[in-house]
Amino acid sequence: MPTVFITGANRGLGLEFARQYAADGWRVHATVRSEEKIYDLQEVGGDVRIHILDMADSGSIRRAAEKLSGEAIDVLVANAGMYGPSGPLGKLDAEGWAKTLATNAVGPTLLAEAFAEHVARSEMKKMVAVSSKMGSIADNGSGGSYAYRSSKAALNAAWKSLSVDLRERGITVAVLHPGWVRTDMGGPNGLIDPPESVAGMREVIEGLTDENSGEFFDYKGQRIAW
Ligand SMILES: NC(=O)c1ccc[n+]([C@@H]2O[C@H](COP(=O)([O-])OP(=O)(O)OC[C@H]3O[C@@H](n4cnc5c(N)ncnc54)[C@H](OP(=O)(O)O)[C@@H]3O)[C@@H](O)[C@H]2O)c1
C-alpha cells in the first residue's frame, strides 16, 4: 500500500489530493495547521492520518518528521501555501512578504529536508511542490504580486537544487503548476475545479522518472519555462 504525505490538506487542492489518494487505497498523512481547522478532511474515508503542521514554523516541521520516523513515504506533496500581500509598488509590505517567503519557499524546502529519509526508504521516492506559473520569471508579463511571485520563484530554485542533491538517494523531485483552480485562493473565476487539477497532477506525479527530475510541469504535463 503506497503512502502519501500532503500539507494543507484541510481545504482546496490539498483536501482533493487527500480524497483522491485515499479513494485509491493509499495511506494518507494529511496535515492541517490546527485541530480547529480540520474541516472536511474529517469526512474523508480510508486510511487518513491527520497531523498538525505549520509551514512557517521550522520546529513544527521537524516534530512532524520525528513523529513519522521509520515510516516510508512514497510521495511527498508540499501543497500548503498562501498568496500573501498583493499591495502594488508603493505599498509593499515587508513583514507580509517575509511571511510569504517563509510559508511558500523556506517551509516546503525544510519539509523536503526533514522528510528525505522517509521518502528515500519508500518504493516510489517522489517529492513534488505545488508551485505556480506566477513563479515563472519567463511568464511574467503583468507584474505585481511581488510576495507571491517571488516566493514561488524561490521555491522553484530551491527545489531544483533538491533535485540535484537528492538524486544520489534515488529521489525524484518536481514542481507543479495546478492550473487556475476554483479554490479559496484561486477564487470563483478560476478555469477548473480541484478534481480536474488534482487528477492531472497525480498523473504527472505518476509519470515522473529520474530523467525528468528537477522540472516544472503544469497539471497537464506541459513543461513551464523558469
Ligand atoms: N488555486 C489556484 O488557482 C492556484 C494556482 C497556482 C498555485 N496554487 C498553489 O496551490 C497550493 C494550494 O492552493 P489552494 O488553491 O488549495 O489554496 P487554499 O484553498 O487557499 O488552501 C491553502 C492551504 O494551505 C494551507 N496553509 C496556508 N498557510 C499555511 C501554513 N503556514 N502552514 C500550513 N498550512 C498552511 C491552508 O491552511 P489553513 O486552512 O490553515 O489556512 C490551506 O490548507 C498553494 O501552494 C497555491 O499557491 C493554487
Which among 82, 103, 196 is the best mutation to test ligand 1's pocket, defined by most ligand atoms within 8 Å of the CB?
A: 82
Tell me: pLDDT of 87 over 90: no
CA of residue 168 to ligand 1 center, whole Å: 31
Tell whether 161 is covered by a domain.
yes
Closest to 82 (Cα-Cα) out of 113, 106, 63: 106
CA of residue 188 to ligand 1 center, whole Å: 15
45: phi then psi, degrees, rounded to nearest 5: -80, 170
Residue 25 belongs to domain spanning: 3-218
pTM of the model: 0.99
- Looking from the CA of residue 80, the nearest atom of ligand 1 is 24
33 touches ligand 1 (CB under 6 Å): yes
CA distances from 122 to 139, 170, 222 (A): 35, 10, 27
56 touches ligand 1 (CB under 6 Å): yes
Number of domains making up the chain = 1
Separation of alpha carbons 22 and 20, rounded Å: 5
Tell whether 158 is covered by a domain.
yes
Tens of pLDDT, residues 145-180: 999 999 999 999 999 999 999 999 999 999 999 999
User: What pLDDT does 36 receive?
Assistant: 95
103 touches ligand 1 (CB under 6 Å): yes
Count of CB atoms within 10 A of residue 57's CB? 15
Tell whether 47 is covered by a domain.
yes
CA of residue 130 to ligand 1 center, whole Å: 9
Kindly give the pairing relationship between strand 48-52 and strand 3-6: unpaired
pLDDT average, residue stretch 86-106: 97
Tens of pLDDT, residues 6-65: 999 999 999 999 999 999 999 999 999 999 999 999 999 999 999 999 999 999 999 999
Q: In this structure, what DSSP letter does residue 105 have?
A: I
Tell whether 223 is covered by a domain.
no
16 touches ligand 1 (CB under 6 Å): no
Which among 13, 32, 60 is the best mutation to test ligand 1's pocket, defined by most ligand atoms within 8 Å of the CB?
A: 13
Question: CATH no. for residue 158?
Answer: 3.40.50.720
Pick the residue whose CA is nearest to atom 8 on ligand 1. Answer: 132
Tens of pLDDT, residues 177-198: 999 999 999 999 999 999 999 9
Tell whether 225 is covered by a domain.
no
